[in-house]
């Protein structure tokens, strides 16, 4: 069990990678609910996951990835996406950039229903612009694929950077920031990981 730390002292978390690699399934089970919620267990992040039974699921992953799969299937078996492609790459780029701007300004954070809709929107626009880049740009297919990969990396890293900034900003405003990572958002998970030998929590020397 992790010790109680003074408010001024921050612990050092030593990760036992060898044990994690030896027991990955046990590690993921011990990490629950973070394994599926992808967010700290505190009041500041309650709107970032949904509860289904005893499971907490990250809204972003739960609604973005199935949407991507759905758009791919629609593209393969219907001509709906081809009609959208007729509007041009610039139209799809504008839709994608609009999402990034609204996401950066926390417009989607106002209500859980808006957040869910935004993830479906993201999955749709991201898939469409990548499909268009691969299939419709006036270059050889290998070049289009390279451009699509670079575009995906740019969009993914941009969104990750914005998300990381928002998380750090939220955590720094919390009255338990001085206790991080043994704040209420991570304390229970870290104590379980320490009990199973996946991490070691110690004071700074």
pLDDT in tens, 138-168: 899 999 999 999 999 999 999 999 999 999 9
Does 47 have pLDDT greater than 90?
no
Identify the pLDDT of residue 147.
Answer: 95
Does 174 have pLDDT greater than 70?
yes
CA angle 44, 50, 55 (to 5 degrees): 110
* Cis peptide leading into residue 181 (ω within 30°): yes
Identify the pLDDT of residue 103.
Answer: 92
Question: pLDDT-based confidence at 51, cuts 50/70/90?
Answer: very high
Percent of the chain at pLDDT exceeding 90: 71
What is the DSSP code string of 87-136? T-HHHHHHHHHHHHHHHHTTGGGG-HHHHHHHHHHHHHHHHHHHHHHHHH
> How is residue 90 written in tokens?
């610039």
Residue with more model confidence, 7 or 94? 94
The pLDDT of 39-57, averaged and rounded, is: 90
Chain-centre distance of CA 187, in angstroms? 21
Count of C-beta atoms within a 10 Å radius of residue 175: 7
Contact indicator for 127, 71 with CB cutoff of 8 Å: yes
Percent of the chain at pLDDT exceeding 70: 94
Identify the pLDDT of residue 43.
Answer: 87
Question: pLDDT-based confidence at 11, cuts 50/70/90?
Answer: confident
The b-or-e profile of 38-52 (16+ CB within 10 A means b, else e) is bbbbbebbeebbbee
Identify the pLDDT of residue 3.
Answer: 47
Question: pLDDT-based confidence at 70, cuts 50/70/90?
Answer: very high
Strand partners, 199: 15
Alpha-carbon distance 83 to 148, whole Å?
A: 20
Identify the pLDDT of residue 9.
Answer: 63
Alpha-carbon distance 84 to 86, whole Å?
A: 5
pLDDT, the chain, mean = 90
Identify the pLDDT of residue 8.
Answer: 53
Hunting for tokens 């808006």 — which residue is that? 114
């Amino acid at each position: 069990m992790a010790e109680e730390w003074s408010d001024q002292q921050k612990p050092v978390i030593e990760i036992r990678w060898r044990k994690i690699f030896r027991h990955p399934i046990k590690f993921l089970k011990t990490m629950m609910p973070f394994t599926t919620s992808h967010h700290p267990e505190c009041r500041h992040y309650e709107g970032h996951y949904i509860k289904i039974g005893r499971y907490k699921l990250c809204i972003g992953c739960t609604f973005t990835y199935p949407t991507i799969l759905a758009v791919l299937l629609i593209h393969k078996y219907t001509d709906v996406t081809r009609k959208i492609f007729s509007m041009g790459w610039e139209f799809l780029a504008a839709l994608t950039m609009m999402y990034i701007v609204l996401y950066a300004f926390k417009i989607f954070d106002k209500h859980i229903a808006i957040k869910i809709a935004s993830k479906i929107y993201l999955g749709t626009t991201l898939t469409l612009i990548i499909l268009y880049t691969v299939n419709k740009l006036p270059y050889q297919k290998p070049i289009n694929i390279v451009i699509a990969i670079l575009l995906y990396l740019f969009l993914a890293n941009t969104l990750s950077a914005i998300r990381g900034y928002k998380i750090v900003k939220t955590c720094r405003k919390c009255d338990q920031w001085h206790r991080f990572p043994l704040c209420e958002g991570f304390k229970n998970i870290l104590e379980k990981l320490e009990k199973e030998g996946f991490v070691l929590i110690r004071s700074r020397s």
